[in-house]
Amino acid sequence: MRYAIISDIHSNLAAFEAVLLDIDERGGAERIWCLGDVVGYGPNPCECIELLQRYDHACVAGNHDWAALGKADLDDFNTEAAAASVWTMKQLGSKEIGYLENLPLSLEEGDFTLVHGSPREPVWEYLLSIYSAKISFAYFQTKYCLVGHSHVPLVFELSADGGDCLLHKVSPDTELRLEENRLIINPGGVGQPRDGDPRASYAIYDSERGVISYYRVTYNIAATQQRMKERGLPQRLIDRLSYGL
Ligand code: ZN
């Protein structure tokens, strides 16, 4: 079975549509695993929720999904993120609110635990360092954990004796073979990449081959930026999409 692993769509419909098309062109996926932050920052929150719901999928809650429901303290956000959250909140209808309200903090699917931030702090913790990743391995029961939140494609690997944690930066079109060691895997961000590459990032897990493949997808960044401008979203959020930062 093939699973598309996506995260941090962030209301960026153009990026999300380009990723879905790319998945199709690569032979499709039977199920989508979405690691949260469907909304926030971008111009099309309702359309992104609606599009995701058309697919067989599992999704967990992210900090921006919570913020759009008024469940997060906006003092924890920078000015632009908070402004975009207030705007997003006003766009959501009862259907979208109902969908976001029902997102769990974590899910287990086979060998994988799905969370937004980290298994220890599912909504808020960023896993970018070996130090925090190593601690995290004690907080999930499955062999592998999928995380988003940092918008950076990364893999943390725990050595067989549990003594060492390695950080692997992932290049596009890389194949990650699942072997004995436990892993924490971040597919990167669909709607607002932050690793210096502005292309949308995602991965496909092929359970028969035991392989996760990482991909980058070019999308119409200018179209998303134009929509953000029309909706009066903060300029810094518009600009950063060009740089992938
Ligand atoms: Zn995010």
Q: Give the model's confidence band at 72: pLDDT under 50 very low, under 70 low, under 90 confident, else very high.
A: confident
C-alpha 62 to ligand 1 mean position (Å)? 7
C-alpha 108 to ligand 1 mean position (Å)? 21
The pTM for the full model equals 0.96
Of 189, 241, 230, 200, the closest CA to residue 87 belongs to 230
13-20 average pLDDT score:
98
126-146 average pLDDT score:
96
Q: What is the pLDDT of residues 179-215, one digit of tens each?
A: 999 999 999 999 999 999 999 999 999 999 999 999 9
Distance CA 10, CA 190 (A): 8
**Count of CB atoms situated within 10 Å of the CB of 126:** 14
Domain ranges of the chain: 2-240
38-50 average pLDDT score:
98
Q: Give the model's confidence band at 142: pLDDT under 50 very low, under 70 low, under 90 confident, else very high.
A: very high
Give buried/exposed letters for 3-31 (b at 16+ CB in 10 A, else e): bbbbbbbbbbbbbbbbbbebbeeeeebee
C-alpha 160 to ligand 1 mean position (Å)? 31
C-alpha 74 to ligand 1 mean position (Å)? 14
State yes or no: pLDDT of 109 exceeds 90.
Answer: yes
56-78 average pLDDT score:
93
C-alpha 161 to ligand 1 mean position (Å)? 32
Q: Count the residues in the chain.
A: 245
State yes or no: pLDDT of 114 exceeds 90.
Answer: yes
C-alpha 149 to ligand 1 mean position (Å)? 5
Lowest mean pLDDT among 38-52, 70-84, 150-164: 70-84
State yes or no: pLDDT of 96 exceeds 90.
Answer: yes
Q: What percent of the chain has pLDDT over 90?
A: 93
Residue 130 has φ and ψ, to the nearest 5°, of -60, -35
C-alpha 57 to ligand 1 mean position (Å)? 19
C-alpha 242 to ligand 1 mean position (Å)? 17
112-135 average pLDDT score:
95
Contact indicator for 67, 122 with CB cutoff of 8 Å: no
C-alpha 168 to ligand 1 mean position (Å)? 20
Tokens of 38: 């469907």
Whole-number CA gyration radius for the chain = 17
To the nearest whole number, what is the mean pLDDT of the chain? 96
Q: What is the largest CA-CA distance in the chain?
A: 54
C-alpha 26 to ligand 1 mean position (Å)? 25
Q: Which residues surround ligand 1, an ion (CB under 5 A)?
A: 8, 37
- For 26, half-sphere exposure in the C-beta direction (CA atoms, 13 angstrom radius) is 22
Distance CA 59, CA 216 (A): 21
End-to-end Cα distance, the chain: 33
C-alpha 180 to ligand 1 mean position (Å)? 30
Out of 3.30.70.980, 3.40.140.10, 3.60.21.10, 1.20.870.10, the CATH code matching 2-240 is 3.60.21.10
pLDDT for 172 equals: 87
Q: Which residues contact 79 (CB under 8 A, 6 or more apart)?
A: 234
pLDDT for 86 equals: 93
C-alpha 125 to ligand 1 mean position (Å)? 11
Of 237, 37, 65, the closest CA to residue 147 belongs to 37
State yes or no: pLDDT of 87 exceeds 90.
Answer: yes
Q: Give the model's confidence band at 244: pLDDT under 50 very low, under 70 low, under 90 confident, else very high.
A: very high
